[in-house]
Chain A
Amino acid sequence: MALHSIHSNPSPGKAARLAAIPGFFFLLAVPALADQESDGFVERVLAVDANAAYGEYLSSQCTACHGRSESQIPVIRGLPAEYFVEALHEYQTGKRDNDVMKSQVGSLSEEEIAALAAYFANQEPQ
Protein backbone atom coordinates (compact mmCIF):
# COMPACT_ATOMS: atom_id res chain seq x y z
CA MET A 1 0.00 0.00 0.00
CA ALA A 2 1.46 3.33 -1.05
CA LEU A 3 1.87 6.10 1.48
CA HIS A 4 0.79 9.39 0.08
CA SER A 5 3.08 12.37 0.40
CA ILE A 6 2.28 14.67 3.28
CA HIS A 7 1.90 18.30 2.30
CA SER A 8 3.46 20.76 4.67
CA ASN A 9 2.19 24.18 5.66
CA PRO A 10 -1.20 24.25 3.99
CA SER A 11 -3.01 27.56 4.27
CA PRO A 12 -6.00 27.50 6.62
CA GLY A 13 -8.87 25.95 4.70
CA LYS A 14 -12.60 26.26 4.86
CA ALA A 15 -12.94 22.91 6.55
CA ALA A 16 -10.87 24.07 9.50
CA ARG A 17 -13.15 27.04 10.00
CA LEU A 18 -16.23 24.88 9.57
CA ALA A 19 -14.89 22.45 12.12
CA ALA A 20 -15.05 25.16 14.73
CA ILE A 21 -18.81 25.43 14.24
CA PRO A 22 -20.66 22.94 16.39
CA GLY A 23 -23.49 20.90 14.97
CA PHE A 24 -23.26 18.12 12.50
CA PHE A 25 -26.47 18.92 10.60
CA PHE A 26 -25.20 22.34 9.78
CA LEU A 27 -22.19 20.71 8.18
CA LEU A 28 -24.41 18.50 6.08
CA ALA A 29 -26.15 21.54 4.67
CA VAL A 30 -22.89 23.14 3.53
CA PRO A 31 -22.25 22.87 -0.19
CA ALA A 32 -19.25 20.90 -1.46
CA LEU A 33 -15.96 22.49 -0.55
CA ALA A 34 -13.65 23.85 -3.18
CA ASP A 35 -10.20 22.31 -3.27
CA GLN A 36 -7.93 25.24 -4.05
CA GLU A 37 -6.58 25.26 -0.52
CA SER A 38 -5.20 21.74 -0.19
CA ASP A 39 -2.74 21.38 -3.06
CA GLY A 40 -5.24 19.39 -5.09
CA PHE A 41 -5.29 16.61 -2.47
CA VAL A 42 -9.05 16.54 -2.05
CA GLU A 43 -9.68 16.58 -5.77
CA ARG A 44 -7.18 13.81 -6.37
CA VAL A 45 -8.63 11.59 -3.65
CA LEU A 46 -12.19 12.18 -4.77
CA ALA A 47 -11.19 11.06 -8.26
CA VAL A 48 -9.97 7.68 -6.93
CA ASP A 49 -12.22 4.72 -7.76
CA ALA A 50 -13.08 3.81 -4.18
CA ASN A 51 -13.19 0.16 -3.10
CA ALA A 52 -16.44 -0.17 -1.15
CA ALA A 53 -15.59 -3.43 0.65
CA TYR A 54 -12.24 -2.04 1.71
CA GLY A 55 -13.92 1.14 2.93
CA GLU A 56 -16.32 -0.93 5.00
CA TYR A 57 -13.46 -2.85 6.61
CA LEU A 58 -11.35 0.24 7.30
CA SER A 59 -14.38 2.04 8.73
CA SER A 60 -14.52 -0.49 11.55
CA GLN A 61 -11.42 1.19 13.00
CA CYS A 62 -13.28 4.49 13.14
CA THR A 63 -16.44 3.08 14.67
CA ALA A 64 -14.58 2.01 17.81
CA CYS A 65 -15.02 5.66 18.82
CA HIS A 66 -17.31 7.42 16.33
CA GLY A 67 -20.82 6.28 17.16
CA ARG A 68 -24.29 7.56 16.45
CA SER A 69 -24.55 9.97 19.33
CA GLU A 70 -22.84 13.32 19.32
CA SER A 71 -20.16 13.76 21.98
CA GLN A 72 -16.64 15.10 22.21
CA ILE A 73 -16.17 12.58 19.39
CA PRO A 74 -18.28 13.67 16.41
CA VAL A 75 -20.67 11.55 14.35
CA ILE A 76 -18.92 10.88 11.03
CA ARG A 77 -21.50 8.69 9.32
CA GLY A 78 -23.08 10.71 6.53
CA LEU A 79 -20.31 13.30 6.25
CA PRO A 80 -19.96 14.62 2.70
CA ALA A 81 -16.94 13.01 1.03
CA GLU A 82 -15.22 16.35 0.29
CA TYR A 83 -15.42 17.41 3.90
CA PHE A 84 -14.26 14.00 5.13
CA VAL A 85 -11.22 13.93 2.83
CA GLU A 86 -10.17 17.45 3.71
CA ALA A 87 -10.52 16.78 7.43
CA LEU A 88 -8.38 13.64 7.28
CA HIS A 89 -5.80 15.50 5.23
CA GLU A 90 -5.70 18.18 7.89
CA TYR A 91 -5.03 15.59 10.59
CA GLN A 92 -2.22 14.23 8.47
CA THR A 93 -0.65 17.62 7.95
CA GLY A 94 -1.14 18.70 11.56
CA LYS A 95 -3.52 21.54 10.80
CA ARG A 96 -6.03 19.72 12.94
CA ASP A 97 -4.46 18.70 16.18
CA ASN A 98 -5.47 15.48 17.93
CA ASP A 99 -3.04 12.72 18.89
CA VAL A 100 -5.49 9.87 18.39
CA MET A 101 -6.63 11.08 14.99
CA LYS A 102 -3.12 11.87 13.88
CA SER A 103 -2.01 8.34 14.67
CA GLN A 104 -5.19 6.81 13.20
CA VAL A 105 -4.90 8.51 9.83
CA GLY A 106 -1.14 9.10 9.64
CA SER A 107 -0.40 6.11 7.45
CA LEU A 108 -3.60 6.05 5.37
CA SER A 109 -2.97 6.14 1.64
CA GLU A 110 -5.03 8.23 -0.77
CA GLU A 111 -6.83 5.04 -1.85
CA GLU A 112 -7.70 4.26 1.75
CA ILE A 113 -8.98 7.75 2.44
CA ALA A 114 -11.04 7.56 -0.73
CA ALA A 115 -12.53 4.22 0.34
CA LEU A 116 -13.38 5.58 3.79
CA ALA A 117 -14.87 8.82 2.49
CA ALA A 118 -17.09 6.97 0.04
CA TYR A 119 -18.20 4.52 2.73
CA PHE A 120 -19.12 7.13 5.33
CA ALA A 121 -20.81 9.46 2.83
CA ASN A 122 -23.21 6.60 2.11
CA GLN A 123 -24.13 5.96 5.74
CA GLU A 124 -27.12 7.31 7.61
CA PRO A 125 -25.90 9.42 10.55
CA GLN A 126 -28.42 7.89 12.99
Chain B
Amino acid sequence: MKRNTIIKPGGGLLTRRRFGILAGAGALTLALPTYLRAQENPKVVVIGGGAGGATAARYIAKDSEGSIDVTLIDDSESYTTCFFSNLYLGGFKDFQQITHAYDDLVANHGITKITGMATAVDREAKIVRMEDGSEVPYDRLVVSPGIDLIWDSVPGYSEAAAGIAPHAWKGGPQTELLKQKLDALEDGQSVVMVAPPNPYRCPPGPYERASMMAHVFKEKGFENSRVIILDPKESFSKQGLFQEGWEKHYPGMVEWYGPDVIGEIVSVDVEAGAVETGFDTFEGALLNIIPAQKAGMIAQEASLTDDSGFCPVEADSMRSTVDENIYVIGDASIAGDMPKSGFSANSQAKVAAMNVRADLTEAQAFPARYSNTCWSLIETDDGVKVGAQYQPVDGKITSMEGFVSQTGETAELRKETYEESEGWYSGIIEDIFS
Protein backbone atom coordinates (compact mmCIF):
# COMPACT_ATOMS: atom_id res chain seq x y z
CA MET B 1 0.00 0.00 0.00
CA LYS B 2 1.36 3.39 -0.98
CA ARG B 3 1.29 6.30 1.42
CA ASN B 4 -0.02 9.67 0.34
CA THR B 5 2.18 12.69 -0.03
CA ILE B 6 0.52 15.99 0.73
CA ILE B 7 1.87 19.30 -0.48
CA LYS B 8 0.29 22.28 1.16
CA PRO B 9 0.41 25.90 0.10
CA GLY B 10 3.30 27.66 1.83
CA GLY B 11 5.68 24.75 1.43
CA GLY B 12 6.00 21.78 3.73
CA LEU B 13 5.68 18.29 2.46
CA LEU B 14 3.84 16.00 4.80
CA THR B 15 3.81 12.29 4.52
CA ARG B 16 1.43 10.55 6.83
CA ARG B 17 4.32 8.90 8.59
CA ARG B 18 6.00 12.22 9.37
CA PHE B 19 2.69 13.64 10.43
CA GLY B 20 2.42 10.84 12.98
CA ILE B 21 5.83 11.57 14.42
CA LEU B 22 5.17 15.29 14.63
CA ALA B 23 1.78 14.73 16.17
CA GLY B 24 3.42 12.56 18.80
CA ALA B 25 5.81 15.39 19.55
CA GLY B 26 2.92 17.65 20.40
CA ALA B 27 2.90 19.66 17.19
CA LEU B 28 -0.61 18.53 16.42
CA THR B 29 -2.21 21.69 15.06
CA LEU B 30 0.77 22.65 12.97
CA ALA B 31 1.22 19.23 11.51
CA LEU B 32 -2.40 18.45 10.76
CA PRO B 33 -3.02 18.38 7.04
CA THR B 34 -5.34 21.17 5.99
CA TYR B 35 -8.08 18.80 5.02
CA LEU B 36 -8.30 17.32 8.50
CA ARG B 37 -8.52 20.66 10.31
CA ALA B 38 -11.93 22.10 11.19
CA GLN B 39 -12.77 24.48 8.38
CA GLU B 40 -15.09 27.40 7.97
CA ASN B 41 -14.65 27.42 4.21
CA PRO B 42 -16.59 25.07 1.98
CA LYS B 43 -14.43 22.24 0.68
CA VAL B 44 -14.00 21.15 -2.90
CA VAL B 45 -12.11 17.98 -3.73
CA VAL B 46 -10.97 17.22 -7.26
CA ILE B 47 -10.02 13.67 -8.24
CA GLY B 48 -7.59 13.63 -11.18
CA GLY B 49 -4.93 16.24 -11.88
CA GLY B 50 -5.08 16.11 -15.67
CA ALA B 51 -6.49 18.41 -18.32
CA GLY B 52 -9.92 18.51 -16.68
CA GLY B 53 -9.17 18.19 -12.97
CA ALA B 54 -6.20 20.52 -12.70
CA THR B 55 -8.09 23.19 -14.67
CA ALA B 56 -11.13 22.84 -12.40
CA ALA B 57 -9.00 23.07 -9.25
CA ARG B 58 -7.17 26.11 -10.59
CA TYR B 59 -10.29 27.99 -11.64
CA ILE B 60 -12.23 27.23 -8.44
CA ALA B 61 -9.30 28.31 -6.26
CA LYS B 62 -8.33 31.33 -8.37
CA ASP B 63 -11.82 32.75 -8.83
CA SER B 64 -13.05 32.12 -5.28
CA GLU B 65 -10.07 34.07 -3.92
CA GLY B 66 -9.58 32.03 -0.78
CA SER B 67 -13.25 31.48 0.06
CA ILE B 68 -13.21 27.81 -0.99
CA ASP B 69 -10.63 25.23 0.12
CA VAL B 70 -9.53 23.20 -2.87
CA THR B 71 -7.80 19.83 -2.65
CA LEU B 72 -6.47 18.17 -5.78
CA ILE B 73 -5.89 14.41 -5.72
CA ASP B 74 -3.71 12.75 -8.34
CA ASP B 75 -1.72 9.56 -8.09
CA SER B 76 1.38 11.13 -9.60
CA GLU B 77 3.82 13.92 -8.65
CA SER B 78 3.68 15.30 -12.18
CA TYR B 79 1.47 15.03 -15.27
CA THR B 80 2.61 13.98 -18.72
CA THR B 81 0.19 15.22 -21.36
CA CYS B 82 -1.13 12.78 -23.90
CA PHE B 83 -1.60 15.80 -26.11
CA PHE B 84 1.68 16.33 -27.99
CA SER B 85 2.81 12.83 -26.91
CA ASN B 86 2.67 11.86 -30.59
CA LEU B 87 5.03 14.77 -31.29
CA TYR B 88 7.33 13.33 -28.63
CA LEU B 89 7.13 10.02 -30.47
CA GLY B 90 8.04 11.77 -33.72
CA GLY B 91 11.02 13.51 -32.10
CA PHE B 92 9.49 17.01 -32.20
CA LYS B 93 9.33 17.31 -28.38
CA ASP B 94 11.30 15.81 -25.55
CA PHE B 95 9.72 14.16 -22.54
CA GLN B 96 10.39 17.11 -20.22
CA GLN B 97 8.46 19.41 -22.54
CA ILE B 98 5.29 17.36 -22.15
CA THR B 99 5.63 16.80 -18.38
CA HIS B 100 4.34 19.37 -15.90
CA ALA B 101 4.52 19.78 -12.11
CA TYR B 102 1.76 20.87 -9.72
CA ASP B 103 3.97 23.29 -7.76
CA ASP B 104 2.51 26.47 -9.27
CA LEU B 105 -1.06 25.40 -8.53
CA VAL B 106 -0.09 24.96 -4.89
CA ALA B 107 2.02 28.13 -4.64
CA ASN B 108 -0.15 30.49 -6.70
CA HIS B 109 -3.65 29.44 -5.74
CA GLY B 110 -3.39 27.80 -2.31
CA ILE B 111 -4.48 24.41 -3.63
CA THR B 112 -3.64 21.39 -1.45
CA LYS B 113 -2.20 18.59 -3.58
CA ILE B 114 -2.52 15.02 -2.35
CA THR B 115 -0.42 12.51 -4.22
CA GLY B 116 -2.12 9.17 -3.89
CA MET B 117 -4.84 7.00 -5.32
CA ALA B 118 -8.49 7.66 -4.51
CA THR B 119 -10.11 4.25 -4.19
CA ALA B 120 -13.71 4.97 -3.16
CA VAL B 121 -16.26 7.72 -2.70
CA ASP B 122 -18.76 7.56 0.16
CA ARG B 123 -21.44 9.71 -1.45
CA GLU B 124 -23.68 9.61 1.60
CA ALA B 125 -20.99 10.90 3.96
CA LYS B 126 -19.36 13.02 1.22
CA ILE B 127 -15.91 11.55 1.76
CA VAL B 128 -13.24 10.38 -0.64
CA ARG B 129 -11.29 7.37 0.59
CA MET B 130 -7.64 7.06 -0.28
CA GLU B 131 -5.65 3.91 -0.88
CA ASP B 132 -3.73 4.43 2.37
CA GLY B 133 -6.96 4.53 4.36
CA SER B 134 -7.14 8.30 4.85
CA GLU B 135 -10.35 10.20 4.18
CA VAL B 136 -10.89 13.49 2.42
CA PRO B 137 -14.26 15.16 3.08
CA TYR B 138 -15.94 17.40 0.51
CA ASP B 139 -18.91 19.66 -0.01
CA ARG B 140 -18.55 19.37 -3.77
CA LEU B 141 -16.52 16.75 -5.63
CA VAL B 142 -15.15 17.11 -9.15
CA VAL B 143 -14.31 13.79 -10.81
CA SER B 144 -11.89 13.90 -13.75
CA PRO B 145 -10.05 10.56 -13.75
CA GLY B 146 -9.76 10.22 -17.51
CA ILE B 147 -10.13 6.77 -19.01
CA ASP B 148 -9.44 3.19 -18.07
CA LEU B 149 -8.69 0.61 -20.72
CA ILE B 150 -10.96 -2.37 -21.30
CA TRP B 151 -8.11 -4.83 -21.63
CA ASP B 152 -10.08 -7.82 -22.86
CA SER B 153 -11.77 -5.83 -25.64
CA VAL B 154 -8.78 -7.10 -27.63
CA PRO B 155 -8.59 -10.85 -26.82
CA GLY B 156 -5.11 -11.76 -25.64
CA TYR B 157 -4.25 -8.23 -24.49
CA SER B 158 -3.82 -7.39 -20.79
CA GLU B 159 -2.14 -4.95 -18.44
CA ALA B 160 0.89 -7.26 -18.34
CA ALA B 161 0.94 -7.52 -22.15
CA ALA B 162 1.14 -3.71 -22.29
CA GLY B 163 4.73 -4.07 -21.03
CA ILE B 164 5.58 -5.70 -24.36
CA ALA B 165 3.01 -4.11 -26.67
CA PRO B 166 2.39 -0.64 -25.22
CA HIS B 167 -0.93 1.14 -25.62
CA ALA B 168 0.57 4.52 -24.68
CA TRP B 169 -2.99 5.82 -24.38
CA LYS B 170 -2.23 7.16 -20.90
CA GLY B 171 0.64 9.60 -20.52
CA GLY B 172 3.87 8.66 -18.75
CA PRO B 173 5.89 5.42 -18.72
CA GLN B 174 3.79 3.89 -21.52
CA THR B 175 4.58 6.84 -23.77
CA GLU B 176 8.31 6.43 -23.08
CA LEU B 177 8.16 2.68 -23.66
CA LEU B 178 6.50 3.09 -27.04
CA LYS B 179 9.14 5.59 -28.13
CA GLN B 180 12.01 3.36 -26.99
CA LYS B 181 10.56 0.47 -28.95
CA LEU B 182 9.87 2.59 -32.02
CA ASP B 183 13.39 4.02 -31.99
CA ALA B 184 14.88 0.52 -31.72
CA LEU B 185 13.26 -0.71 -34.95
CA GLU B 186 15.42 -1.38 -37.99
CA ASP B 187 14.61 -0.99 -41.65
CA GLY B 188 12.22 -3.72 -42.69
CA GLN B 189 10.62 -4.02 -39.25
CA SER B 190 7.03 -2.82 -39.04
CA VAL B 191 4.51 -1.49 -36.55
CA VAL B 192 1.06 -2.99 -36.29
CA MET B 193 -1.41 -0.70 -34.52
CA VAL B 194 -4.83 -1.83 -33.35
CA ALA B 195 -7.04 1.28 -33.25
CA PRO B 196 -9.84 1.58 -30.67
CA PRO B 197 -13.61 1.51 -31.27
CA ASN B 198 -15.71 4.61 -30.49
CA PRO B 199 -15.97 6.32 -28.07
CA TYR B 200 -12.34 6.87 -27.10
CA ARG B 201 -10.05 9.72 -26.09
CA CYS B 202 -8.70 11.83 -28.94
CA PRO B 203 -10.44 10.68 -32.15
CA PRO B 204 -7.59 11.74 -34.48
CA GLY B 205 -4.91 10.44 -32.05
CA PRO B 206 -4.19 7.01 -33.57
CA TYR B 207 -3.80 8.50 -37.04
CA GLU B 208 -1.56 11.33 -35.91
CA ARG B 209 0.48 8.67 -34.14
CA ALA B 210 0.76 6.57 -37.33
CA SER B 211 1.96 9.73 -39.12
CA MET B 212 4.63 10.36 -36.50
CA MET B 213 5.82 6.75 -36.66
CA ALA B 214 6.13 7.02 -40.44
CA HIS B 215 8.00 10.30 -39.94
CA VAL B 216 10.57 8.49 -37.79
CA PHE B 217 11.03 5.79 -40.46
CA LYS B 218 11.37 8.39 -43.19
CA GLU B 219 13.92 10.43 -41.22
CA LYS B 220 16.02 7.30 -40.83
CA GLY B 221 15.78 6.54 -44.54
CA PHE B 222 13.89 3.29 -43.99
CA GLU B 223 12.39 1.91 -47.18
CA ASN B 224 10.94 -1.38 -46.07
CA SER B 225 9.20 -0.62 -42.78
CA ARG B 226 5.44 -0.11 -42.62
CA VAL B 227 2.89 1.28 -40.20
CA ILE B 228 -0.17 -0.94 -40.44
CA ILE B 229 -3.39 0.21 -38.78
CA LEU B 230 -6.07 -2.38 -38.04
CA ASP B 231 -9.29 -0.55 -37.30
CA PRO B 232 -12.63 -1.75 -35.94
CA LYS B 233 -14.18 1.49 -37.32
CA GLU B 234 -15.36 2.00 -40.87
CA SER B 235 -14.06 5.54 -40.96
CA PHE B 236 -12.08 7.88 -38.72
CA SER B 237 -11.54 11.51 -37.80
CA LYS B 238 -9.96 13.71 -40.50
CA GLN B 239 -9.62 10.59 -42.66
CA GLY B 240 -9.33 12.42 -46.00
CA LEU B 241 -6.68 14.72 -44.59
CA PHE B 242 -4.60 11.91 -43.10
CA GLN B 243 -4.82 9.73 -46.18
CA GLU B 244 -3.85 12.62 -48.43
CA GLY B 245 -0.91 13.36 -46.12
CA TRP B 246 0.26 9.72 -45.98
CA GLU B 247 0.16 9.54 -49.77
CA LYS B 248 2.11 12.76 -50.08
CA HIS B 249 4.75 12.34 -47.38
CA TYR B 250 5.02 8.60 -46.82
CA PRO B 251 3.93 6.86 -50.05
CA GLY B 252 3.34 3.16 -49.50
CA MET B 253 4.42 3.32 -45.87
CA VAL B 254 1.11 3.67 -43.98
CA GLU B 255 -1.57 1.04 -44.55
CA TRP B 256 -5.03 1.38 -43.03
CA TYR B 257 -7.54 -1.50 -42.99
CA GLY B 258 -11.12 -1.14 -41.80
CA PRO B 259 -13.56 -3.88 -40.83
CA ASP B 260 -14.76 -4.35 -44.43
CA VAL B 261 -11.30 -5.72 -45.23
CA ILE B 262 -10.11 -7.38 -42.02
CA GLY B 263 -13.40 -8.33 -40.37
CA GLU B 264 -12.99 -8.72 -36.62
CA ILE B 265 -9.82 -8.42 -34.58
CA VAL B 266 -9.75 -12.00 -33.37
CA SER B 267 -6.80 -11.96 -30.97
CA VAL B 268 -3.36 -10.62 -30.28
CA ASP B 269 -0.22 -12.53 -29.29
CA VAL B 270 2.21 -9.95 -27.98
CA GLU B 271 5.09 -12.42 -27.54
CA ALA B 272 4.85 -13.48 -31.17
CA GLY B 273 4.11 -9.94 -32.37
CA ALA B 274 1.01 -11.10 -34.19
CA VAL B 275 -2.53 -9.82 -34.57
CA GLU B 276 -5.04 -12.29 -35.94
CA THR B 277 -8.01 -10.83 -37.79
CA GLY B 278 -10.93 -12.38 -39.66
CA PHE B 279 -8.96 -11.83 -42.87
CA ASP B 280 -5.34 -12.58 -42.09
CA THR B 281 -2.68 -12.52 -39.39
CA PHE B 282 -0.57 -9.35 -39.31
CA GLU B 283 2.92 -9.46 -37.86
CA GLY B 284 4.93 -6.56 -36.52
CA ALA B 285 8.19 -6.14 -34.60
CA LEU B 286 6.24 -3.55 -32.60
CA LEU B 287 2.59 -3.86 -31.67
CA ASN B 288 0.71 -0.79 -30.44
CA ILE B 289 -2.60 -2.03 -29.07
CA ILE B 290 -5.18 0.60 -28.16
CA PRO B 291 -8.15 -1.15 -26.54
CA ALA B 292 -11.71 0.08 -25.98
CA GLN B 293 -12.18 2.57 -23.16
CA LYS B 294 -14.40 3.45 -20.22
CA ALA B 295 -14.42 6.09 -17.49
CA GLY B 296 -11.59 5.89 -14.95
CA MET B 297 -12.05 3.29 -12.21
CA ILE B 298 -13.08 5.73 -9.48
CA ALA B 299 -16.11 6.84 -11.54
CA GLN B 300 -17.29 3.23 -11.75
CA GLU B 301 -16.48 2.71 -8.08
CA ALA B 302 -18.65 5.70 -7.13
CA SER B 303 -21.49 4.42 -9.36
CA LEU B 304 -21.42 7.55 -11.48
CA THR B 305 -21.39 5.62 -14.76
CA ASP B 306 -24.22 4.23 -16.86
CA ASP B 307 -24.28 1.17 -19.12
CA SER B 308 -21.97 2.88 -21.61
CA GLY B 309 -19.17 2.87 -19.01
CA PHE B 310 -19.11 6.69 -18.96
CA CYS B 311 -20.83 9.25 -16.72
CA PRO B 312 -24.05 11.07 -17.63
CA VAL B 313 -23.99 14.78 -16.77
CA GLU B 314 -26.27 17.78 -17.04
CA ALA B 315 -25.44 19.63 -20.25
CA ASP B 316 -25.63 23.09 -18.71
CA SER B 317 -23.29 22.46 -15.77
CA MET B 318 -21.40 19.12 -16.03
CA ARG B 319 -23.13 18.10 -12.79
CA SER B 320 -23.58 14.34 -12.46
CA THR B 321 -27.17 13.29 -13.14
CA VAL B 322 -26.91 10.79 -10.28
CA ASP B 323 -25.46 13.00 -7.52
CA GLU B 324 -25.96 16.75 -7.22
CA ASN B 325 -22.81 17.18 -5.14
CA ILE B 326 -20.60 15.73 -7.85
CA TYR B 327 -19.43 17.05 -11.20
CA VAL B 328 -17.84 14.78 -13.80
CA ILE B 329 -15.69 16.34 -16.53
CA GLY B 330 -13.26 15.29 -19.23
CA ASP B 331 -12.98 11.88 -20.84
CA ALA B 332 -15.03 10.20 -18.09
CA SER B 333 -18.14 12.25 -18.90
CA ILE B 334 -20.77 11.79 -21.60
CA ALA B 335 -20.52 15.24 -23.12
CA GLY B 336 -22.92 15.01 -26.05
CA ASP B 337 -21.29 16.03 -29.32
CA MET B 338 -17.95 16.96 -27.74
CA PRO B 339 -15.02 14.66 -28.49
CA LYS B 340 -12.91 13.37 -25.63
CA SER B 341 -9.95 15.73 -25.75
CA GLY B 342 -7.72 17.79 -23.50
CA PHE B 343 -9.23 20.95 -24.99
CA SER B 344 -12.76 19.67 -24.23
CA ALA B 345 -11.79 18.66 -20.68
CA ASN B 346 -10.31 22.12 -20.05
CA SER B 347 -13.45 23.78 -21.43
CA GLN B 348 -15.82 21.58 -19.40
CA ALA B 349 -13.74 22.26 -16.27
CA LYS B 350 -14.48 25.97 -16.51
CA VAL B 351 -18.23 25.38 -16.72
CA ALA B 352 -18.06 23.02 -13.74
CA ALA B 353 -15.86 25.45 -11.78
CA MET B 354 -18.34 28.27 -12.30
CA ASN B 355 -21.22 26.08 -11.11
CA VAL B 356 -19.29 24.79 -8.10
CA ARG B 357 -18.62 28.38 -7.06
CA ALA B 358 -22.27 29.26 -7.57
CA ASP B 359 -23.27 26.28 -5.38
CA LEU B 360 -20.97 27.26 -2.53
CA THR B 361 -20.57 31.05 -2.66
CA GLU B 362 -22.38 34.12 -3.94
CA ALA B 363 -20.82 33.69 -7.39
CA GLN B 364 -23.14 33.83 -10.39
CA ALA B 365 -23.53 31.00 -12.90
CA PHE B 366 -23.80 32.06 -16.55
CA PRO B 367 -25.05 29.97 -19.48
CA ALA B 368 -22.58 27.23 -20.37
CA ARG B 369 -20.42 27.54 -23.47
CA TYR B 370 -17.98 24.89 -24.53
CA SER B 371 -15.39 24.66 -27.26
CA ASN B 372 -12.85 22.30 -28.73
CA THR B 373 -10.15 22.23 -31.37
CA CYS B 374 -7.98 19.20 -32.09
CA TRP B 375 -4.82 19.88 -34.06
CA SER B 376 -2.85 17.00 -35.60
CA LEU B 377 0.59 16.94 -37.13
CA ILE B 378 0.99 14.79 -40.26
CA GLU B 379 4.58 15.71 -41.16
CA THR B 380 6.94 18.58 -40.35
CA ASP B 381 4.99 21.85 -40.80
CA ASP B 382 1.94 20.00 -42.10
CA GLY B 383 -0.71 20.57 -39.43
CA VAL B 384 -4.48 20.10 -39.68
CA LYS B 385 -7.31 20.92 -37.29
CA VAL B 386 -10.94 20.22 -36.53
CA GLY B 387 -13.07 22.08 -34.03
CA ALA B 388 -16.42 23.46 -32.94
CA GLN B 389 -18.40 25.46 -30.41
CA TYR B 390 -20.96 23.69 -28.25
CA GLN B 391 -23.97 24.73 -26.19
CA PRO B 392 -26.62 22.85 -24.25
CA VAL B 393 -29.70 22.24 -26.42
CA ASP B 394 -32.59 20.20 -24.99
CA GLY B 395 -30.36 18.69 -22.33
CA LYS B 396 -27.54 17.69 -24.68
CA ILE B 397 -24.22 19.40 -25.35
CA THR B 398 -24.69 20.18 -29.01
CA SER B 399 -22.29 21.24 -31.73
CA MET B 400 -23.08 24.75 -33.00
CA GLU B 401 -20.39 25.96 -35.35
CA GLY B 402 -17.69 23.69 -36.63
CA PHE B 403 -14.77 23.69 -39.03
CA VAL B 404 -12.20 21.29 -40.38
CA SER B 405 -9.05 21.72 -42.48
CA GLN B 406 -9.49 20.96 -46.17
CA THR B 407 -7.54 18.67 -48.46
CA GLY B 408 -5.33 20.52 -50.93
CA GLU B 409 -4.54 23.43 -48.60
CA THR B 410 -1.36 25.40 -49.25
CA ALA B 411 1.86 24.48 -47.45
CA GLU B 412 1.82 27.96 -45.96
CA LEU B 413 -1.59 27.46 -44.34
CA ARG B 414 -0.58 24.02 -43.05
CA LYS B 415 2.53 25.53 -41.47
CA GLU B 416 0.41 28.23 -39.84
CA THR B 417 -1.92 25.55 -38.51
CA TYR B 418 1.02 23.68 -36.99
CA GLU B 419 2.39 26.85 -35.43
CA GLU B 420 -1.05 27.59 -34.05
CA SER B 421 -1.02 24.19 -32.32
CA GLU B 422 2.32 25.08 -30.72
CA GLY B 423 0.76 28.31 -29.44
CA TRP B 424 -2.24 26.38 -28.15
CA TYR B 425 -0.02 23.93 -26.26
CA SER B 426 1.83 26.64 -24.38
CA GLY B 427 -1.44 28.52 -23.80
CA ILE B 428 -3.36 25.56 -22.43
CA ILE B 429 -0.51 24.39 -20.21
CA GLU B 430 -0.46 27.86 -18.67
CA ASP B 431 -4.25 27.72 -18.33
CA ILE B 432 -4.07 24.36 -16.52
CA PHE B 433 -0.91 24.51 -14.40
CA SER B 434 0.17 28.12 -13.72
Q: Which residues of A contact B (CB under 8 A)?
A: 1, 53-54, 56-58, 60-61, 63-69, 71-73, 99-100, 102-104, 106-107
Contacts and interface: CB of A to CB of B under 8 A. Distances in A.
Nearest to A54: B366
A67 B426 contact: yes
B131 interface: no
Contacts of B400: 107
A68 B385 contact: no
Best-buried of A68, A71, A107 by chain B (most CB within 10 Å) = A71
Contacts of B389: 103-104, 106-107
Interface in B356-412: 363-364, 366-367, 369, 371, 373, 385, 387-389, 400-403, 405
Nearest to B388: A103
B59 interface: yes
A65 B403 CA distance: 17
Contacts of B403: 99-100, 102-103
A103 B402 contact: yes
B63 interface: yes
Contacts of B385: 99-100
A67 B427 CA distance: 4
* Interface size, B (range): 20 to 34
A57 B347 contact: no
Given A72-B419, A99-B385, A100-B387, A58 B426 contact: no
A35 to B, nearest CB: 27
A65 B424 contact: yes
Contacts of B419: 71-72
A73 B416 CA distance: 10
B428 interface: yes
A66 to B, nearest CB: 6
Contacts of A57: 350, 354, 366
B422 A71 contact: yes
Contacts of A67: 423, 426-427, 430-431
Given A53-B364, A64-B343, A64-B428, A106 B401 contact: yes
Contacts of B420: 72-73, 100
List the 5 shortest-distance A-B pairs measured between CB atoms, nearest first: A73-B423, A71-B423, A72-B419, A67-B427, A99-B403
A2 to B, nearest CB: 13
Contacts of B401: 102-103, 106-107
Contacts of A1: 367
A64 B347 contact: yes
Contact of A64 (B354, B371, B422): B371
